[in-house]
Amino acid sequence: MHALNNEKLLLAWERGNKLREPWRALALLQLALPEWDHAALAALPLAERNALLLRLRAETFGDQLQSFAVCPCCSAQLEIALNARDIERQLESPPEETWQENGRELRMRPATSNDLAVLAQVPLELQPRTLLEQTLTMHAADNEIEESTDELPPAWLERFDRLNASAEVRVRVACAACSQQPLLDIDIACYLWREIALAARRLLAEIHLLARSYGWSEQSILAMSPTRRGAYLEMLSA
Ligand SMILES: [Zn+2]
């Protein structure tokens, strides 16, 4: 895993701007893991993908994540602080499950980025069902599976939740206002993208100032250490 250096950070922002999730998160990972091919990243269980995103975050911006959320119990604003490497270690995908039911063999695997991509074409209310059906394979003895419009069996939903629970980046936060300790989900792909976009814009603004004042190329400014770049910027604003 390579950290995103200045040049890759700008490339990540440029590529990511043109993409939607889940492809944006995969584009970020591909810059950090050039030896992986895109199809392999897209087929990773989401727990493993999120673990890689957390590692990329730690390598690029450091271990400590800070964010804000609203308390689901009392609507107070909460500050979230977590360690990316600690959370990364908790995200381990369980193996697929197989079982027999009414003479059929069923198999369910954890959801992947490929499955999320399918959801983009599906109305919001049908997305949970579609996601479950994407990850489920059925083999009937007579090779005929009736199409059912009924509710999905609760046992399937439980199995789906169990297989995918470890993909969530969750943190328990103590709310000082109401003394509850709500469990909050963090969308790590979205969080990392916002940080990359912010860092890229800051970097572009610095390049703009230095290039305009000194006539240096983008490449030579990008190659400077942040300390040296900061020193020149300080002199410019003095
Ligand atoms: Zn609260």
Segment 216-231, tens digit of pLDDT: 999 999 999 889 999 9
Q: CA–CA separation, 189 vs 28, rounded Å?
A: 9
Q: CA–CA separation, 193 vs 190, rounded Å?
A: 5
How many angstroms separate the alpha carbon of residue 125 from the centre of ligand 1? Answer: 29
CA 119 to chain CA centroid, Å, is 16
pTM tops 0.75, yes or no: yes
How many angstroms separate the alpha carbon of residue 64 from the centre of ligand 1? Answer: 23
Can you tell me the mean pLDDT for 96-123? 92
Q: Whose CA is closest to 28, among 204, 192, 219? A: 192
What are 157's two structure tokens? Answer: 């939903």
How many angstroms separate the alpha carbon of residue 127 from the centre of ligand 1? Answer: 30
Q: CA–CA separation, 170 vs 185, rounded Å?
A: 5
Q: Torsions phi, psi of 198, nearest 5?
A: -65, -45
Q: According to DSSP H, which parts of 62-187 are helical?
A: 84-90, 113-119, 127-135, 154-164
Q: Where does the pLDDT of residue 92 fall: very low under 50, low under 70, confident under 90, or very high at 90 and above?
A: confident
Q: Kindly report the average pLDDT of the chain as a whole number.
A: 91
Can you tell me the mean pLDDT for 102-112? 92
Sign, Cα dihedral of 218, 221, 224, 226: negative
How many angstroms separate the alpha carbon of residue 70 from the centre of ligand 1? Answer: 8
* pLDDT over 90, % of the chain: 76
Per-residue pLDDT at 120: 86
How many angstroms separate the alpha carbon of residue 182 from the centre of ligand 1? Answer: 8
Half-sphere exposure of 216 (CA within 13 A, CB side): 16
How many angstroms separate the alpha carbon of residue 172 from the centre of ligand 1? Answer: 12
Per-residue pLDDT at 31: 95
Can you tell me the mean pLDDT for 130-157? 77
Segment 151-207, tens digit of pLDDT: 788 999 999 999 999 888 888 999 999 999 999 989 999 999 999 999 999 999 999
Is the pLDDT at 144 greater than 80? The verdict is no
Per-residue pLDDT at 141: 60
How many angstroms separate the alpha carbon of residue 66 from the centre of ligand 1? Answer: 18
How many angstroms separate the alpha carbon of residue 160 from the centre of ligand 1? Answer: 30
Can you tell me the mean pLDDT for 120-145? 83
How many angstroms separate the alpha carbon of residue 183 from the centre of ligand 1? Answer: 11
